[in-house]
Amino acid sequence: MAAVLRQSSCARGVVPRIAASAAVRLSAVPESVAGVSSAWSPGHPAYITRGKHSATQTKRILSRNPARLRLLKKRGEDLKLVKIPPPSERTYPPIFQPTFLKSGWSAPPGSDVEIPDYPFRVERTGRKPYGAVGFLPVYRDVRNIRGDMNAFIDELRAVLQLPLGKKGILSTLSSTGPHGGGEAGRGVTYENPIRIRAGGNIEVHGDRLKEVKRWLAELGF
């Protein structure tokens, strides 16, 4: 009898929480409890069902699934993920035509080539034997960047045609977007293709190493 009274009071004033993914069947309610079966019917306000996926999981499955994003990108459809398009033109045109070896090394321009006064510069790797010229420091990220970081990123975006992600330029310390810097720890993605790493290194989404190296070599670095 005590169990019946507790179940009856729950049906009258407290919304039942159903943990299972399926709805509670009417047959599960004792017939001896008067007025309880109507509270467990689908038309009653207290009738609640809960899916097995959270709201975040459901959103990922239905709209942000990686396979779906790749398919839309292949079709050329708008993913509605980009807020700011890349600059339409480069600010600094090429001044030199480099030649690359299989190792990825390229010789810098000779003394007869006048290098403009860029607001940024990229220093080659050092500590080479016999004072040899080092490599351009381009790996998964671009290193040894000096000068105006914003000007470098703007020119990089123009060269690679990288849109600015919805969360701005990610940084391990902070973010230019309203969401803060927490997303930077997850790395670059299609939505957020640029990240400023510790030490001022610039990471770019995708395999763009050869493009970045050629761009820097053409600038005379």
Please enumerate, as own/partner, the contacts of 193-196 that have beta carbons within 8 Å and a separation of 24 or more. 193/162, 193/163, 193/165, 194/153, 194/156, 194/157, 194/162, 194/164, 194/165, 194/169, 194/170, 195/169, 195/170, 195/171, 196/149, 196/169, 196/170, 196/171, 196/172
Domain ranges (residues) in the chain: 2-52, 85-218
Task: Look over the chain and give the mean of its residue pLDDT values, rounded to a whole number.
Answer: 74
pLDDT attached to residue 95? 95
From CA 137, how far away is CA 11, in angstroms rounded?
Answer: 69
3-state percent breakdown (helix, strand, coil) of the chain, nearest 5: 30, 10, 55
Q: pLDDT confidence of 208, banded at 50, 70, 90? A: very high
pLDDT attached to residue 189? 81
